Structure formats: C-alpha cells, structure tokens
Structure 1
Amino acid sequence: MAKHFFQSWLPSPERVKNLKFMKIFGNKALSPMLWYVNRKSISKAMFIGTFWGILPIPFHTVLIVFTILIFEANLPIGLLLSWIMNPLTIVPILFLAFWIGSKIYHVHMINKDMLIGVFHQIINWIKNFGHGHIDLSLAKILATGLLIEALVFAALLFIITRIYWRWSVVKKWNNRNNSELHHQ
C-alpha cells in the first residue's frame, strides 16, 4: 500500500535523467538502487531531501543528489523534497529558525529595528565593494536555528515514513488474513 502510494507519484528514470543538472552525475543517477521503492530507500530520501530542502543554500538540489548517491536512497523522492524551500514557505522556515536560534543563544527574538540595521549594513557593504562591517550575530542565530530545524524535520519525516510504511504493511497483512478466513 505504501509502496503503491509512492510509486504513483514518482517520475520515470528517463524523465529525471533528462534534467539539465543531472548530466553532472552521468549514469550513476540511473542506478537501480536509486529507484527502489522500499521502506529504507524512501525513508532515507525523506531525511536527505527534507534536510537539504529546508536549508536556503544555493545548489541544494545538487547536494541532495550527491547525498542520495552516497546513501543509495530514492532519487525522485529526494528531488521532490528539494521544493520545500519556496517563496511560500521561506518566511515560516526562517521565522522558526530565528525563533529556535534565539532560544538557544538566549536572546530576544529579532525585531524590525534589528532587521533594518542589518539591511543597512548589507547595503553599505555592497556599496563599498565588500568593505565595511556586517554584524554576523544574526547569521549565527539563523544558521544554528536552520540546522536544528532541518535535522528535526528530517528526522520527523524519516520516522513518520517508517511508521506509515509499517502500518500499511500490517494493514495489508491483516486484510489478507481476514480475506482468507472469510473464504474458508
């Protein structure tokens, strides 16, 4: 049941192979190990895709593929999760990361004046071609919060996927046993 659910959403290997950035990885991306739909490959892909997908870094899709190649997880699921960070989700993701970081470093949540101050520092730094001061204390708070947020959500999706998979197997097994009992 879980297997069929995931298989119904997955693109074909040829479709993924034709993506421009996949040419970097050559035929390794077409390895059958990366296309298996089983409990281990799907849950690993959920962890990898969620972790890298939450982090607002350039080329996170390439990092997802590289990590999936190392851990032999399901490639399409990992790639689909790279879209977690998008214009609709970036504000809640960053807000939660700042909130987590502020709790860890025991600082007050950022306010409008802090953001305007950092914005002016960045503008000044750009105008002076990289010369000037940028207060990185907010970056430390954000980076710490993002890493923790990414790890927590990745671990949660990993566990939920494993539980869902187990539940669907038990349900299918029980349905099969009930059907056999009715036919006897």
Structure 2
Amino acid sequence: MPKKFIRRFLPDHQTVKKNKALRIFGSVLHEPNLWHLNRRSAAGAFGIGLFFAFWPVPFQMWLSAGMAIPFRANLPLSVATVWITNPFTMPPIFYGAYKVGTTVLGTKPEHFEFQFSWQWVVESLTTIGPAFLVGCAICSVIFSVAGYLSLNWIWRLQVKKAWEKRKQARANKTQQA
C-alpha cells in the first residue's frame, strides 16, 4: 500500500516540529491533519510539492510547506517532493522547461553557457528568461495536476487490491470451514 511505502521516507512529526527553520509557522504545525497520511493528504502534498519543484527559486521548501498548511496536505511529503529538483536533476529539468517555453512562445532556442554569477542571471532574464519562466509555469501546473491525479489513482488502486485480497481471504476461510 502507498501509505506504508511513503511513511518509510518521511520524518517523524515531532522531529519536524522541533526544526528551528519551521518555527515561523508557530502552533499551526500542531494541526493533526498535517501529519496524517491518507489518500487526500498524500495526493495533495504530492501535487503541491511538484508545483513548487518547478519554480526556479531557492526557497521552494518554504513555499511548499506554506501551501500544505491551508490545503491540509501532508506537510513532510509536500516538502520532500520538492526535492525532485535537486542539484543533480535541476539542469535537465530546467532545460526541459526552457524548451517547453520556447515551443509555446514560438521563439528560437538560444545558445547559452551557464556562469555562476549574478551578472549572468540578470543578463539571462532578458534573453532566455521569458521562455524559461513560461516553461517553468507550464511544467509546474501540468506536473502538479498529473502528480495529484496519479497518486490519487495509485492509492485507490492499492486500496481496491487490498479489499479484493481480504474478500478472497474471507472466501477461502469460509470454504475451509
């Protein structure tokens, strides 16, 4: 079942509550719905995490946590899902978003070389920035909706299989008796 699989990777809610960086949320973190792992909260958290994973900002986890609270999504799963874009996966994911943006805007992809400087970032906002940001927005929405629906469907499928397995076990038990 997805619940058991997901729970293996999530931190304990007491550990997250004690995190100094999350203290700005105050007593809101004591809301039990943020820690329950059910179909609705897991699918919502996955969608929220994927939505913010495609945002090219350094504080994606904060945004994801901030949105998980009003939507009553599982907070740890929402924050963990953002890490789909990590230092290793970010270049291909963001390049793909740039390609989506150039396709949607109908512009020609420009050749660029990444430089780790503020000047390069400022200059890139005028050249590749519009296509990149449009691509990130489109990918953000598409992947978050697809992630939400996929996890919801997988969860339902697993519950259905578990019910069928229990039904079959009961039928076998009555046949043996």
TM-score (norm 1): 0.85
- 2:142 pairs with 1:152: yes
Return the alpha-carbon distance in structure 2 between the equivalents of residues 181 and 58 of structure 1: 55
- 2:24 pairs with 1:24: yes
Q: Which runs of 5+ in 2 are unaligned?
A: none
- 2:51 pairs with 1:51: yes
SS of residue matched to 1:154: helix
Return the alpha-carbon distance in structure 2 between the equivalents of residues 34 and 41 of structure 1: 8
- 2:56 pairs with 1:60: no
Q: How does 1:23-102 map to 2 (within 5 A)?
A: 23-102=23-102
Shift of 1:93: 1.1
Return the alpha-carbon distance in structure 2 between the equivalents of residues 125 and 157 of structure 1: 30
Question: What CA RMSD, in Å, does the superposition of the two structures yield over aligned residues?
Answer: 2.2
Q: Is the 8 A contact 1:34 1:74 kept in 2?
A: yes
Percent identity at matched positions? 28
Shift of 1:135: 6.0
Q: Is the 8 A contact 1:35 1:76 kept in 2?
A: yes
Return the alpha-carbon distance in structure 2 between the equivalents of residues 172 and 85 of structure 1: 33
Q: List structure 1 runs of 4+ shifted beyond 4 angstroms.
A: none
Pairs aligned (count) = 173
Residue in 2 that maps onto 1:130: none
CA deviations over 1:17-41 (Å, ceiling 9, x no partner): 1222111101211210101111110
Cα 1:149–1:124 shift into 2, 3 Å: closer
Shift of 1:150: 1.3
Q: Is the 8 A contact 1:68 1:74 kept in 2?
A: yes
TM-score (norm 2): 0.89
SS of residue matched to 1:150: helix
Return the alpha-carbon distance in structure 1 between the equivalents of residues 158 and 3 of structure 2: 9
| Aligned residue identity for 1:178 | Q
Q: How does 1:105-184 map to 2 (within 5 A)?
A: 105-111=105-111, 115=112, 123=119, 136-184=126-174
Q: Is the 8 A contact 1:98 1:110 kept in 2?
A: no
Q: Is the 8 A contact 2:54 2:94 kept in 1?
A: no
SS of residue matched to 1:57: coil
Return the alpha-carbon distance in structure 1 between the equivalents of residues 120 and 65 of structure 2: 37
Q: How does 1:5-16 map to 2 (within 5 A)?
A: 5-16=5-16
Moved more, 54-63 or 65-74: 54-63
